[in-house]
Structure 1
Amino acid sequence: GVRLTNSTGSSARPIAQTVVLMILGLSRDVPAWMRAQQDHQWAPHVGEEVEGTNLAVIGMGPIGEETARLGIALGMNVVGCRRTVTGNEPCETRTFEALGELLAWADYVVLALPLTHDTRGLIGAEQLALMKSTARFINVGRGDLVNEPALIDALQQGRLAGAGLDVFATEPLGAESPLWDMPNVIITPHNSGATALANHRGAQIFIDNIARFTSGAEMRNEVAAHQVGAGTIGR
């Protein structure tokens, strides 16, 4: 039969760094600076600092763990969330039973989950309503983890302070989406992990697995048959 592997972990660092870019970009309202630059306007404004704020990382795979480490380095209070807590996470970590509590606690919520039958639609209107109106929402997992119309509504109604989005329910994101024109939303085109080093790490995993396969050794990142098609392939 066919054996399938993926490159999980190869892009964790750049994706986590993009999360930090979004956190800092939203806290300092970098989009406002960029708009002023495009308009040749000198427009100072007062931003926020992230030290001492609360960061909830939903999903503690390689991306989530790296995001947690960077959040800790910024002086943020970081709590992770995953299905099963191992005790080896870089921060305090809770199970999904505590998701609602974490959403209400967080100033920044980061989704770093794969899309599975269990995680599809994890964040809907009910979950978004738990979040502070001053909170920011960041998704670098998969678009269908979130009810996108509910997210748009929360942003339009001022029930969320902003969002950083690398993934969407439909990609490319349609030109008609109101997300494009929201001043408090940072959009990246499912591109947060695209660096030369990440590509190199992915290629090295593939080359290593060829050697392992031909020698009969256990391969890295092998995907179980029941995971195929469940959204586990990729990051």
Structure 2
Amino acid sequence: MDTRRDRRRAATVAEIKAAARKLLVAGGASAVGLRAVARELGISAPALYRYFAGHEDLISAVVADLYDELTAYLIAERDTSGDLGEQLFLVAGGLRTWALEHPAEFGLLFGAPVPNPGADDHELTPSHQAAMRFGAVFKDLVAKVYRQQPFPSPSEELLGPELVEQLCQKSEFFDGMPPGAVYLSLTYWTRLYGLICMEVFGQLHWALDDAGAYFDAQLREIGEALGLDCPPAE
């Protein structure tokens, strides 16, 4: 039963996470300390422990919210079209747009090591589960493309047994795609991710004043490799 006490608690948790995000935007991840959040809310730091077990717990909750916000944004962009090629552009372009509009939040999600990636309970954390929901937007789209028309992919001989073994272990996660197709999916994701990171973190300014056209050209190249009809260059 949703009691008044539950609603008050949920509202307080939301206020704490909003304060943490405000500090993140203003000063980066290092500014999001429990004491700083408490000062922002005008409460004592120990009072925060009624709602979060500690700093890592708070950051995990903020990260989960950000992933879910981003995921909802990308799904809304994707669903404006029923064409797979256009969906690829909409989702990838949407990620770039969100990242450029929210550089501090993007930095927290994608610019830092995953906390405790080897911990036994890592997969149970809200941040990990939200990250998986985000990843599914891209993964499911590429799997849908492959089911519609399998795209050419490298042979297992070219990839080598060690890599093929790892890719086979992830085949189920990629809806049963073969190792070569999983390899290309990872390759194109890291390519887009790297481009967006370089732009957001100011690593492309030396070459391009505006990386948008370059990003779109890379997307068209990826789309064509996947056998998609991609929007023409503007």
- TM-score computed with the length of structure 2 as normaliser: 0.23
Q: Which has the bigger relative contact order, CA under 8 A and spacing at least 6? A: 1
Relative to its length, the structure with more helix (as a share) is 2
Relative to its length, the structure with more strand (as a share) is 1
- TM-score computed with the length of structure 1 as normaliser: 0.23
